[in-house]
Chains A and B, each alone.
Chain A
Amino acid sequence: GQNIDQPTEMTATEGAIVQINCTYQTSGFNGLFWYQQHAGEAPTFLSYNVLDGLEEKGRFSSFLSRSKGYSYLLLKELQMKDSASYLCAVMDSNYQLIWGAGTKLIIKP
């Protein structure tokens, strides 16, 4: 079956760095997406990786290792507004998105 695993919840301090991991087993691979979702709101697109390596976008970076079925989202200089759930999703061989359950990130002052 297809499976995506993320930690359920993480806590970090304002101004610090946090890494959210995602491991996956899917039928084929056509890219991995990270989304941010604030409570009660829609998910918003953060990043996309299809090749191995690190993609950097301001305070956010995303890494992919296809051979290990592994990705992480790195958030630097954490701000209170970064408190949200972070969803990992993999596009399978049929170009369908398979979603992880999300990681709830709590930022403390």
Chain B
Amino acid sequence: DGGITQSPKYLFRKEGQNVTLSCEQNLNHDAMYWYRQDPGQGLRLIYYSQIVNDFQKGDIAEGYSVSREKKESFPLTVTSAQKNPTAFYLCASSSPTGESQPQHFGDGTRLSIL
């Protein structure tokens, strides 16, 4: 079945540590996105990528980094510079941007500070 797989489901970060969240899709979608969701708030865009080897900052990119070396994969690294990383992180993908297509989401990774 086609879909988006995020791992791990739960992740704990120590002070000063970088952690990487995995996102893999087999939907053959060109565009991929990372969102952060905090209680009572809407989804906020961290980074997005419209094509392999290219990505752009979203509204809250500070303290995060991404790579897009393969069409299927869009990992997100939460660096030690992100002082408030506790949140629910959602990865999504869609057909090429420039089209009004719905985004499809993975099951999310819940990140907490130890």
A101: chain B residues within 8 A (beta carbon): 40-42
How would you classify the secondary structure of chain A's contact residues: helix, strand, loop or mixed?
Answer: loop
Q: Is the CB of B100 within 8 A of A31?
A: yes
Tell me if A30 is interfacial: C-beta within 8 Å of chain B: yes
Q: Total contacts A to B, CB within 8 angstroms?
A: 46
Residues of chain B touching chain A, judged by Cβ–Cβ distance below 8 Å, are 40-45, 48, 88, 90, 97-100, 102-108, 110
* Binary B-proximity of A1-35 (CB < 8 A = 1, otherwise 0): 00010001000000000000000000000110100
Q: Is the CB of B42 within 8 A of A95?
A: no
B110: chain A residues within 8 A (beta carbon): 40
Known: A42-B105, A43-B90, A44-B105. A99 touches B100 (CB 8 A): no
A residues contacting the other copy or chain, number (CB 8 A) = 23
Q: Is the CB of A95 within 8 A of B105?
A: no
Bound complex: CA A52 to CA B88 (Å): 34
Bound complex: CA A99 to CA B92 (Å): 14
Q: Is the CB of B105 within 8 A of A30?
A: no
Closest to B107 in A: A42
Q: Is the CB of B98 within 8 A of A100?
A: no
Most chain B CB atoms below 10 A, which of A96, A97, A102? A97
Most chain A CB atoms below 10 A, which of B40, B44, B105, B106? B105
Q: Is the CB of B100 within 8 A of A102?
A: no
A104 → B minimal CB distance (Å): 9
B80 → A minimal CB distance (Å): 27
Tell me if A70 is interfacial: C-beta within 8 Å of chain B: no
